């Protein structure tokens, strides 16, 4: 059963390749959605997939990119939009 989750990640997550890391992880897991920087220094992502894919994705968000430092990942379920791919939004 497909689900959609929204994540807001805080810490040192901008300017360290975090969005690219998230995109590669999401695509590798077969997820669709997007990731973008927020003006307050956090990163936001929306991902759609099955529960196992989303759990693996959340684990990857907590792990972060090599140069990042993840302090918190806030997640909430949301409605499915039916994305075709996983993109970085600017």
The tens place of each residue's pLDDT in the chain, 90 residues long, gives 999 999 999 999 999 999 999 999 999 999 999 999 999 999 999 999 999 999 999 999 999 999 999 999 999 999 999 999 999 999
The whole-angstrom separation of Cα 85 and Cα 26 is 9
pTM: 0.96
Query: Where does residue 33 fall: left (phi above 0), alpha (psi -120 to 50 degrees), or beta otherwise?
Result: left
| Active-site annotation, residues | 19, 37
Closest CA to 31 of 81, 65, 68, 76: 81
Enumerate domains of the chain plus CATH numbers. 3-88 (3.30.70.100)
CA dihedral 76, 79, 83, 86 (to 10 degrees): 0
The whole-angstrom separation of Cα 31 and Cα 26 is 5
pLDDT at 46 (0 to 100): 98
């Amino acid at each position: 059963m497909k689900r959609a989750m929204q994540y807001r990640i805080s810490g040192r997550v901008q300017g360290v390749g975090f969005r690219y890391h998230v995109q590669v992880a999401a695509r590798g897991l077969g997820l669709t959605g997007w990731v973008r920087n927020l003006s307050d220094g956090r990163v936001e992502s929306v991902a759609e997939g099955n529960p196992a894919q989303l759990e693996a994705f959340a684990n990857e968000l907590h792990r972060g990119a090599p140069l990042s430092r993840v302090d918190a990942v806030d997640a909430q379920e949301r409605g499915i939009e039916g994305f075709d791919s996983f993109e970085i939004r600017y």
